[in-house]
Amino acid sequence: MPELPEVETIARGLAKRVTGDVIETVWLGEKSEPLKSPATEIVATLQGALIGAVRRMGKHIVFDLQRNEKSHRTKKLKTNNVQLSQWIVHLGMTGRLQVCEPEAEVLKHTHAIAKLASGRELRFVDPRRFGRLSVASAGNFDAGGFEPLEVELGKFTTLFRGRKGPIKSALLNQKLLRGVGNIYADESLFRAGIRPRRRAGTISREQLRRLFLSVREVLTEAIALGGSSISDYVDAEGEEGFFQLKHRVYGREGEPCLVCKTPIKRIVIGGRSSHYCPKCQK
């Protein structure tokens, strides 16, 4: 389940492999769920575009595209405008972007194939179809709230002010912070010593400071280890991440807390399983 560290890892891998390449043709599958923009628009935006950069925004992978606008040639001057747009991919739960040779077997649940000028193909595969593809003109894409690794402490603190809902839900709310998902929310709350059900607005300034630092710490460590490989996650090179080995509460229900040996509890908050240590987290 790609969250910020996994998406960052994937985006970096893709950037290495496809930056500077040109998308020649695009094939889109029958299923419409993965398409957030109209199919015709996606094809028109991608075909003939040069990939200028690949980067992450929240849990989205953004391809910065450049294409030469169909210039209306006037008598006096040829306008050769470069049109800037973006291809935005959200991997959902099970989405993958693979760069491969055209001969490679087309996996079941392949929803899009972009043929590149280098001869390779960039494919979007997503069995569960929670992933989404869209296009936007440059600068028009809104990825949501603040980047957790860029936001300042003061701003971070105000995000939770007056909120009656559980802090866990607030951390997952992409309109506040973008990129934190279930694993990293649980891990951050454990390190900050805050229970997931704590109402966000009741958390002290000092505790929020701890949470702020914990979120940064957890995400930074996870990126350094290539993310968490749960079920079948692999990055752009097909490599697994290793942060799952560092999980202190996520997926450890019933196992002893690594700090105090108390069994880790699992509860459901807003439909999400939430793991915490009843002794270490208040």
Partner DNA sequence: ACTATTTCCTGGATGC
Partner DNA sequence: TGCATCCAGGAAATAG
Are residues 138 and 64 in contact, defined by beta-carbon separation less than 8 angstroms?
yes
Are residues 139 and 131 in contact, defined by beta-carbon separation less than 8 angstroms?
no
Instruction: Give the number of other CB atoms < 10 A from CB of residue 163.
Output: 17
Residue 210 contacts DNA per CB under 7 A: no
Number of residues that bind DNA (CB under 7 A): 31
By CB under 7 A, name the one of 5, 13, 92, 241 that touches DNA. 92
| Minimum distance of DNA from residue 174's CB (angstroms) | 4
Q: With CB under 7 A as the contact rule, which of the stretches 61-69, 110-118, 121-129, 217-225 interacts with DNA?
A: 121-129
- The residue type at 153: L
- Of residues 17, 59, 67, 168, which has the active-site annotation? 59
| DSSP character string of 2-71 | --HHHHHHHHHHHHHHHTT-BEEEEEE-S--TTBSS-HHHHHHHHTT-EEEEEEEETTEEEEEEEEE---
From residue 179, give the alpha-carbon distance in Å to each of 47, 120, 141, 154, 230. 29, 30, 15, 19, 17
Q: Which of residues 256-275 bind DNA (CB under 7 A)?
A: 270-273
Please indicate whether residue 59 is annotated as part of the active site: yes
Please indicate whether residue 3 is annotated as part of the active site: yes
Residue 109 contacts DNA per CB under 7 A: yes
- Of residues 12, 129, 197, 272, which has the active-site annotation? 272
Residue 66 contacts DNA per CB under 7 A: no
Could you list the residues that contact DNA (CB under 7 A)?
Answer: 1, 3, 33, 58-59, 90, 92-93, 108-109, 127-130, 162-166, 169, 172, 174, 181-183, 200-201, 270-273
